[in-house]
Chain A
Amino acid sequence: MPQTTFDIFRYQPDFADESYRQSYALDHEPELTILDAVLRLQNEQDGTLAVRYSCRSAICGSCACRVNGKTVLACMTQVEDVKKEFGSDTVQVDPIGNFAPIKDLVVDMDPFWEKFKSVKPFLVPDGPAPEKERIVSKEAMQKIYNESKCILCAACYSECNSFAADEEFVGPAAFVWGYRFAGDERDGQRKARAKLYSGQHGVWDCTRCMYCNERCPKGVDPRDAIEKLGGIAFNEGISWADSGARHAKAFLISVRTGGKLNETLLVPFTAPIQSQMDMPFALRMLRKGKAPSPIPHRVKKRSEVNKLMKNVKETI
């Protein structure tokens, strides 16, 4: 029978101001999930241990937490798998990152639900509803299927670098829901949504670290949804009004014309006024050899780059 030590984050606001860690040893059958382990500890060793959970079948989204630093659903993660992966009999369990703890593994999810609500997460169709169902092709419905799988567990926020740096960043799951409606052909608010999701703290503030895609337990790929929302913003023609969008556009123009990124071009595109004010600083940098040459350097095989760009465009 395997034995495991669980090293768990504790925060007991009724009894102590500071958080601490506590270790529990458990003998168990080889088949045991992290959630079942915590529930066994709660029953058998320490009734004060708190954790959100319900369905134990990876659909309610309650039990996201960090196991050895990696955000997972506790109910679908096997203790023995974690031990094997990390080569240790001790398993650390922490609440999801980037939210304030309420008690032990339970965090304050209010900011998460506020973000969800901020993307207008409901269908706003054009015109009155028909008598029967709206006719939607299988393919059109399939386009938002991946986003419909999101269980709002917030694992993506736990891993999100942009959210860690900017608590007002709308964030991955909320944008998944943004795309779930903006990409729904029954919705009539595509342009308004594109605008709502741009601007400061919006889709352009994603740093593309891809952790949300990597750690989403349901394979929803939030970063892809953010990317698709960027595409919608471009198509809806609001891109010039938004510095994030201009930044993305400058990328595109630069690669299209020179075959590679011209970083000097990015700054005036992204922040035209600020960049003029920063001109003396830029010149000083240039003089000291700390800035790239403003004269674009061209790559040799631009046709290859164009072919790649075409491929990418076709797949989106």
Chain B
Amino acid sequence: MHTHDVVVVGAGLAGMRAAIAAHEAGVDVALVTKIHPVRSHSGAAQGGINAALGNETEDSTDNHTFDTVKGSDYLGDQDAIEILCGDAPGEIIQLEHWGAVFSRHETTGKIAQRPFGGAGFPRTCYAADLTGLVILHTLYTVCVKYEIPCYEEYFVTELITDDDGACCGVVAYDMVHGTIETIGAKAVVLATGGAGRVYAPSTNAHASTGDGMSLALRAGVPLKDMEFMQFHPTTLSPSGVLVTEGARGEGGILLNNQGERFMSKYAPNKLELASRDVVSRSEATEILEGRGVNGCVMLDLRHLGKEKIMERLPQIRELAMAFAGVDPIEAPIPIRPGAHYHMGGVHVDSWGAAPHMSGLFAAGECACVSVHGANRLGGNSLLEAVVFGARTGDAAARFVHDGNGNAGAAKPEHALEYEKKLRGLLERTQGTPQHEIRDPLADMMQEKVGVFRNGDDLNAARKVVDDLKEKVPTMVISDKGRTFNQSLIHAIETGFLVDLADCMVEGAIARTESRGAHSRTDFPERDDEKWMKHSLSYLEDGKVRLDYSEVTMTKFEPQVRTY
């Protein structure tokens, strides 16, 4: 058994940034992650990270705040968004000081910035189209420098709570050595990323199974705004591989099968750079009304020219060639909307603390502060990960410094108890294989809980989720060994995914309005009177119970949203 002051579960941008902050605050912090830190999905973020540096044109954090509030369709908490945008320049400068290889302005040598969707100014800092990779690597090098201990390929299976219900550690499966371990902690930070794999296709990595959210949910902590899944407007078919918004930021245009630049109908001012929910809905409408090409529309970059594509979007070219067989210098890329980013997550305050459980914190996509509300702006996810990663790491350290936390309540027996549960699972020889639950779930979510939703589809979705939920306890694992048992991990992840889908569907059924990424054809208008509130999903006796909480408004009154 191991013990640390702070244990951070997940080692992407938010997790590593939290660990670095906690380390700098002088506590003993360790990372626990099911994949090596540099494998984290933050590395797949391409286009950039927003901060009102004003390196291209004048800009201000107020502008950034307004754009984010508007982008959120007024569901984001404005006090938290002010923090996000206010801390942004400082965090970017800090990353630069740590060595991040940001692309530079031609003449000034400052960090270059490009236009992005839903933003009034070129505000997105970038490293070609590898921004996430470069920042992920930068944070990893800082973790190496600080010698922050990292439990690599440890899959966390449960949160441990003490008699007062405070979080005091985790149980984890050490994949390489095949053992179950207890890791005690005074504070636990969940930073396990998104749950995009609830859907297929998805831009998300196979590892993005929302583990942290489900761990919290099962421990009695509510999840917030789970009905809001963002569909990215440009993903490759059939794989779902992401094509950055930077492609449109650099001037890429969207065409239908008539060769028409259809965004002029839906967002006459911002065109392709309207917010993501707007662009995805426009594409879906074109495709539904028969103006698509094999279920896609076309992203045309040809007019940018070879040189600009090679300099600013080299990875996009590589991916389009490898996964769609198209060289964007020569031909338009067929793309379609695909599940990409989950606005919902573990309900936390603006210090990343879960109000329902002492000692538990969350940051990044796994958390819901909420800064993205009903729709996230491109370039704000990496930003949230570092800004709230840092704040959460600080807060967890402060929690420990103030004498809180009960790491001693985590005992080796917790691992042994879990071991007993596992034995049942491992010994079972008849039942449902995990992919017979996971695959139909993900296909169904895409079909019934997609870009457009309606009551009938959502009720059908509820039925499928209920059926699959019943199969979860009957799952059978074909690998009976201890070492690197992926069959076991997939089964546990599948259980997590079903929980999360349940919350998403219940939240979507209840919310009888259209806001941001949640678009109901049977309730096409935003209803501020009834629905300007966050949903909270609790898991009680295996069923989702919904509750609601207020949205914080400071400066910006809700307006009709046009782009």
Contact = CB atoms under 8 A, between A and B. Distances in A.
Given A12-B481, A138-B104, A148 B145 contact: no
Contact of A59 (B36, B43, B96): B43
A172 interface: no
Contacts of B99: 122-123, 181, 184, 186-187
Given A53-B206, A122-B141, A133-B93, A62 B104 contact: no
A158 B85 CA distance: 44
A14 B486 contact: no
A149 B103 CA distance: 13
Contacts of B110: 132-133, 135
Contacts of A102: 176, 483-484
B104 A136 contact: yes
B370 to A, nearest CB: 26
B477 interface: yes
B98 to A, nearest CB: 6
Contact of B41 (A55, A76, A135, A141): A55
Nearest to A59: B44
A136 B479 CA distance: 53
B241 interface: yes
A108 B318 CA distance: 29
Contacts of B261: none
A257 interface: no
A54 B144 CA distance: 22
Interface in B103-162: 103-106, 108-112, 127-128, 130, 133-134, 137, 141-142, 144-145
Interface in A2-58: 12-15, 31, 42-44, 46-48, 50-58
A48 B481 contact: yes
Interface in A154-196: 180-181, 184, 186-187
Contact of A54 (B93, B97, B206): B206
A113 B140 CA distance: 12
Contacts of A76: 322-323
A284 interface: no
Nearest to B40: A60
Nearest to B481: A14
Contacts of B477: 47
A70 B133 CA distance: 25
A151 B481 CA distance: 31
Contacts of B106: 138
Contact of B142 (A47, A61, A122, A138): A122
Interface string B509-537: 00000000000000000000000000000
A109 interface: yes
Contact of A103 (B39, B238, B242, B483): B483
Contacts of A50: 484, 486
A14 B39 contact: no
A57 B242 contact: yes
A109 B112 CA distance: 36
A137 B481 contact: no
Interface in B155-207: 176, 178, 205-207
Contacts of B357: none
Given A53-B206, A102-B484, A134-B96, A48 B478 contact: yes
Contacts of A132: 93, 110
A15 B109 CA distance: 59
A297 interface: no
Contacts of A59: 43-44, 130, 133, 315
Given A57-B44, A121-B141, A184-B99, A141 B104 contact: yes
Interface string B313-352: 0010011001100000000000000000000000000000
B481 A60 contact: no
A187 B98 CA distance: 10
B233 to A, nearest CB: 17
A42 B144 contact: no
Given A47-B487, A135-B108, A61 B39 contact: yes
Contacts of B295: none
B86 interface: no
A140 B133 CA distance: 20
A137 B104 contact: yes
A138 B39 contact: no
B435 interface: yes
B35 interface: yes
Contacts of A106: 484
A152 interface: yes
B44 A60 contact: yes
B492 interface: no
A60 B39 contact: yes
A303 B563 CA distance: 66
B484 A57 contact: no
A316 interface: no
A145 B101 contact: yes
A76 B241 CA distance: 11
Contacts of B322: 58, 76
Interface in B27-83: 35-36, 38-41, 43-44
19 contacts: A13-B483, A14-B481, A14-B482, A15-B481, A52-B39, A56-B205, A57-B242, A57-B323, A59-B130, A59-B315, A60-B39, A60-B41, A122-B142, A122-B145, A123-B141, A137-B104, A138-B109, A148-B130, A148-B133
- Counting from the closest, the 4 A-B pairs by CB-CB distance are A47-B478, A123-B99, A14-B481, A47-B487
